[in-house]
Structure 1
Amino acid sequence: MFKVGEALVGDEPNLAHIDLVIGEKDGPAGQAFLNSLSKPSQGHTPLLSVIRPDLPAKPSTLLVPKVTIRDMEDADKAFGPVQEAVSRAVADSVEEGVIPKEQAEELVVIVSVFIHPEADDFQKLSRFNYGATRLAIRRAMEGFPDVDKVLEEKDKGGHPIMGTRTVKLRNPPYLQIAMDKPAIEQQLNLMEQLPESDHLIVEAGTPLIKKYGIKVIEELRKKDEDAFIIADLKTLDTGHLEAEIAADAGADGVVISGLADVNTIEKAAREADKCGIYCILDTLNVENPVDLLEKLEDKPHIVELHRGIDEEYAGKEHSAWGDIPAIKEMTKEKLVAVAGGITQETIGEAIGAGANILVVGRAIANSKDPESKTRDFLESMGKAWSESEKEKFGDIEQFRWRTDF
């Protein structure tokens, strides 16, 4: 047996974060147990877990502090409420049958504990570490989470220190706001006016990047750390290099021109995968997107069917919308964006054709009230909450549900 469990309970500075391993005495867990006792590291000295002096827990349990024990005050926390709580949680897990009683003498438990240097409440330290240890043990013994749970939950929430930012587009349709005007202050002001929504994508347009450089991505990110930001580079050569540059600047996606050589597009797609960002293929002036996609061994994550501004002014209609279902099947993320003169009146047609991402520029950027206009578009897409939902959950269009054990 070799089981691993983890749990986080409580709030700072008295929160408890438990990592633990449960295994046989004569296996790797037992060997690690002995090594830790015989070769303690300075400042992280492990200690046998006891419910009270002369009453160690069963299975034999080792408490390993993750944070350096600096002084007697820190030692009191580890040897007092945390040690007692962990030991009692192990014993209660045996009593309730989570750890089989008949195996208690054959197993060892190694528990890594986090004790915040500013923790100041012994009662909370005890309560939180007890609860976290119980939860971690149950998770370990029941194999939580399984692989399916990890894949289901990985994009729903965020690390408590990192935040809730996610870089996956899992719940279309999305509204992508194209910031094309080469006026940085105006675009930063627009960022501040956008409503909070999980269904917004921000596009740093080609003219904006050409004037200010790729660092404009960093400026936009400062305005909203959680925003999904695309760098519209319309790359024509060195696709791998420009994808890496976009990723290094903090972009979540990079736009490659469909007019680029097939090798350029494929290299960009591979580099985007390596960097953990999206590769978006822009079909501006591409006669047949389906033919192009069929030539690619490494497909883009998203295809953007793009009617340019000059084409729009010349009266050219959107093309290839009828091919959206086929195009979608040839993308890694099954996502198709449409761009070029999208209005509230044409949203229904675009979504009906199968579009997942609606790219809007001037209709929002030139509006006197961008926040209200954005909400109008979201509402037309069916992604604005009712007033009762807003009162209950706050003014966010999609609440991220995280279903922990």
Structure 2
Amino acid sequence: MYKIGEALIGDGPELAHVDLLIGDKQGPVGQAFANGLSNLSVGHTPLTSVIRPNLMTKPATLIIPKVTVGDLEDASKIFGPAQTAVARAVADAVEAGYIPKDIVEDIVINVSVFIDPSAKDFRKIYQYNYGATKLAIRRAMKDYPSIDKVLAEKDRGTHPIMGFKVKKLWSPPYLQVALDLDNLDAMERIIDQLPENERVLIEAGTPLVKKFGVGVISKIRELRPDAFIIADLKTLDVGRVEVKMSADETADAIAISGLGTMESIMKAIHETQKQGIYSILDMMNVDEIDKKLKALPEDLKPDIVLLHRNVDYETWIKEHGGDAGGMTAWGDIEKIKEITGGLVAVAGGVTPDKVETAIGKGADVIIAGRYIIGSRDVRRAAQDFLAHFEPDPDNMRLAMDEDENIPDKKGDKKSSKK
């Protein structure tokens, strides 16, 4: 047997975070158990888990402090509420049936515990570590989480200690606000007025980047730490350099010009993969879009294809009585998705009344610029678009309620791929 479990419970200095291994005495977990008891280190001395003095729990359990035990006060938190909490959790896990009684003499458990030196409340230390240990055992024995759970949550979860959220485009459609500006004060004013909405993406427009450099991305990040930020560099050459520059400034995506050579496009996309950010291939003024996309290797397709009608062309259409927000200029969106397997963004004269049509044709990202940034009421202008979107992907979600399956009345487990 070789099982791995983890759990975090509580808050404040008494918060408990437990990592544990469950395995056979004769296997690697058993070897680690023996090494832990015999190879003592200053400040991190492991100890057996006891329910009370002279009553060791079964299966035999080793507690490994994650934080240096600096003095007697720190030691008393380990050799007291934490030690008892872990031991009773193990015993109760056996009683609850998480661990079969017939194997308790054949296995051992190694439990790593986090005890903050500033923690004061022994009751909370006990309660949180008891709950975390018992939950970690249950998870380990049930092989939680499933890979389906991991894949469903990887772009949704936020680590409470990290302090910010990394946004991924896991639930389109989205509204991308293009900051095509040449003024930092105007940029700050607009960002300040944009709604705090999961569906809003912020684009550092080409004029903004050209005037202030890629460092403007970091300025946007300071204003909106959790935002998904696109660097619209329209890269034509030396893509690797420009992608790295943007990634170093914390951009989440970079726009590459589809007018570049195949070699330049492939190098730029490869660098986005290396840096862990999204690649956007901007097809403004590109002929035979399908042909160009098909020519790219399967492992170097862009994450997002941008079907982009330029401003000058859009203005000309308006002057000649055409429909500047028409859909025909974007072509067959679904066909493009079949080629790349990624998302499609549309830009060029999109107004709020065209949003539902664009989404209906398969658009995943609606890019709006002047309608929003030129408005006297930026928030209202953005809401004009958002009114046509589904609500925030997670606004009705309670992540903690989805963590474990609960048996139904027949004893079957409910499906939980989320």
**Residue correspondence of structure 1 range 343-358 to structure 2 within 5 A:** 343-358=351-366
Q: Encode CA deviations 1:199-257: one digit per residue, 9 max, x unaligned.
A: 01100001100110111000000011110000001000122222222111100000000
Match of 2:378 in 1: 370
**Residue correspondence of structure 1 range 125-140 to structure 2 within 5 A:** 125-140=125-140
State the SS of the aligned residue for 1:380.
coil
Deviates more, 1:234-243 or 1:127-136: 234-243
Cα distance in 1 between the residues matched to 2:301 and 2:166: 22
Match of 1:53 in 2: 53
Deviation at 1:163, TM superposition (A): 4.0
Match of 2:368 in 1: 360
Cα distance in 1 between the residues matched to 2:391 and 2:245: 32
Code of the residue aligned with 2:365 in structure 1: it is I
Does structure 2 retain, via aligned residues, the 8 Å contact 1:157–1:401?
no
State the SS of the aligned residue for 2:376.
coil
**Residue correspondence of structure 1 range 92-171 to structure 2 within 5 A:** 92-163=92-163, 165-171=165-171
Does structure 2 retain, via aligned residues, the 8 Å contact 1:156–1:400?
no
Match of 2:218 in 1: 218
Cα distance in 1 between the residues matched to 2:329 and 2:391: 26
TM-score, with structure 1 as normaliser: 0.94
Cα distance in 2 between the residues matched to 1:351 and 1:48: 60
Cα distance in 1 between the residues matched to 2:25 and 2:156: 38
Does structure 2 retain, via aligned residues, the 8 Å contact 1:199–1:397?
no
Match of 1:64 in 2: 64
Q: Encode CA deviations 1:346-375: one digit per residue, 9 max, x unaligned.
A: 222212221111100010001111112111
Cα distance in 2 between the residues matched to 1:34 and 1:379: 62
Cα distance in 1 between the residues matched to 2:141 and 2:394: 37
Does structure 2 retain, via aligned residues, the 8 Å contact 1:293–1:330?
yes
Match of 2:11 in 1: 11
Q: Encode CA deviations 1:362-394: one digit per residue, 9 max, x unaligned.
A: 10001111112111210023447xxxxxxxxxx
Q: Encode CA deviations 1:27-69: one digit per residue, 9 max, x unaligned.
A: 0001111111111222111011111100011111000000110
TM-score, with structure 2 as normaliser: 0.91
State the SS of the aligned residue for 2:167.
coil
Deviation at 1:171, TM superposition (A): 1.2
Does structure 1 retain, via aligned residues, the 8 Å contact 2:309–2:329?
no
Residue segments in structure 1 that go unaligned for 5+ positions in a row: 385-395
Deviation at 1:149, TM superposition (A): 1.3
State the SS of the aligned residue for 2:332.
helix
Code of the residue aligned with 2:337 in structure 1: it is K
- 261 and 399 in structure 1: CA distance in 2 versus 1, 3 angstrom threshold: farther
Count of paired positions: 393
Cα distance in 1 between the residues matched to 2:110 and 2:53: 19
Deviation at 1:320, TM superposition (A): 4.5
Deviation at 1:397, TM superposition (A): 7.5
Cα distance in 2 between the residues matched to 1:310 and 1:320: 14
Percent of pairs with identical residues: 53
Q: What do you get for the CA RMSD once the two structures are aligned?
A: 1.5
Deviates more, 1:180-189 or 1:63-72: 180-189
Cα distance in 2 between the residues matched to 1:34 and 1:352: 62
Deviation at 1:401, TM superposition (A): 4.4
**Residue correspondence of structure 1 range 311-326 to structure 2 within 5 A:** 311-315=313-317, 320-326=329-335
Match of 1:190 in 2: 190
Deviation at 1:176, TM superposition (A): 0.3
Does structure 2 retain, via aligned residues, the 8 Å contact 1:167–1:277?
no
State the SS of the aligned residue for 2:175.
strand
Does structure 2 retain, via aligned residues, the 8 Å contact 1:197–1:397?
no
Cα distance in 2 between the residues matched to 1:309 and 1:131: 59
Residue segments in structure 2 that go unaligned for 5+ positions in a row: 319-323, 405-418
Match of 2:336 in 1: 327
Code of the residue aligned with 1:4 in structure 2: it is I
**Residue correspondence of structure 1 range 18-97 to structure 2 within 5 A:** 18-97=18-97
Pick the aligned partner of 2:306 from 304, 307, 328. 304
Match of 1:381 in 2: 389
Cα distance in 2 between the residues matched to 1:37 and 1:368: 69
Q: Encode CA deviations 1:97-132: one digit per residue, 9 max, x unaligned.
A: 211111111111000000011111011111110000
Match of 1:404 in 2: 403
Q: Encode CA deviations 1:300-329: one digit per residue, 9 max, x unaligned.
A: 000011111111112186654231111112
Deviation at 1:399, TM superposition (A): 4.5
State the SS of the aligned residue for 2:149.
helix
**Residue correspondence of structure 1 range 336-347 to structure 2 within 5 A:** 336-347=344-355
Name segments (4+ residues, structure 1) moved above 4 Å: 316-320
Does structure 2 retain, via aligned residues, the 8 Å contact 1:221–1:227?
yes
